[in-house]
Amino acid sequence: MESQNAFKVRDITRVLEEWAPTVLQESYDNSGLLVGDLSAKVTKVLISLDCTEEVVAEAEREGAELIVSHHPIIFSGLKRLTGNTHVERTVLRAIKSGIALYAIHTNLDNVASGVNFELATALGCTPESLKILRPKSESLHQVTVYCPSAYADKVRDAMFKAGAGSIGDYDRCSFNLVGEGTFRPGSDSMPFIGEKGQDHSEPETKIELLVEKRLSRSVVEAAANVHPYEEMAYFITPLENKDENILSHIAPSDLRSFGLIPELVGRFPVLTHLNTLDGQALRRILSEPKNAIIKQYIHLFSLDNIELKFKADALDWIVEQALKFKLGARGLRGILETVLTDDMFELPSSDVKELIVDRKYCEGHKGNIESQELKVA
């Protein structure tokens, strides 16, 4: 990547980190600027999977002042730079040539539009079917600021502009509580209100907002820039993201604790988990596969020269019952069998040649679904 204008290293890293914040990297990783000066000028960037001696040599030939690699050349701290290892030689050569090294690794893997998303898309997954199975913990902060109520709008607006207050598809979100603040200015203070050495009370507003961890300090600085007090009272609270997919973290030791003998646990080379199917997935299973249950029943009725048709609201009703009784995909057949069994035996001996199944039909033929335990085939 080459530019006619001279950027600085910090200009490029800022863009990269707005896309894939370094706080999203795994604990073992070392993403970010590894070698170089943030204020150094850059006219050309070399992009690579790994950063090696050969890559640095190519950057020298191409006149690139910055190398952005996926894998970091430095994973852990270097105790010496003697050139005895390929890592040391690569770093030394980059320093001598004035080339900055930047890595964007697991943070790029984890970001919503990053490597894992593209891999899933390449495998045929649709965006609406994708879900972050293991959200990063402590990636959000709650920033709380106290200010005179007369200045609350100004302080809050500054924090919003700095990136605070976004929750999903909503922005400018905050919680505000009006109360009374008290303080006594010291002898060396320059109070905005109140007198030195005198107790003072002031109507104040407590402003609470959610903010990405990487933006916390800039949000606090934005608030302080418009806050009237000499000393702004604030605090930052790390928040734990709730991880509902606890089974995704299952390990052999968990099976052992559950009561399985070690000899049996050792025969499981791979452990995995299954997520509960939602209504959309059940609906697709019901009608889309080549041998879908709906198609099977249509074929069975056709053997007796009866045309079976399903309305969309009937499919919705069947899915609703499967979710209600927590039967999953295999319970769909049991529900259909309960609804259609009577007509499967009675219609072949009648003059009926068409059966239309809608929600009303299902409700009228549900029998004792609600009182009996459905069998899962």
- pLDDT tens per residue, range 133-171: 666 666 788 999 999 999 999 999 999 999 899 887 788
Is residue 244 pLDDT above 70, yes or no? no
- In tens, the pLDDT along 41-59 reads 999 999 999 999 999 999 9
Is residue 370 pLDDT above 70, yes or no? no
Compute CA distances 310 → 3, 120, 254, 307, 338, whole Å: 60, 33, 45, 10, 15
Count CA atoms closer than 13 A to 100's CA, side-chain side.
22
DSSP state of 25: S
Mean pLDDT of 334-348: 87
* CB contact set of 353 (below 8 Å; sequence gap of 6+): 305, 306, 307
- In tens, the pLDDT along 298-311 reads 998 998 899 999 99
Phi, psi dihedrals of residue 38, rounded to the nearest 5°: -60, -25
List of domains in the chain: 2-109 (3.40.1390.30), 140-239 (3.30.70.120), 279-364 (1.10.8.60)
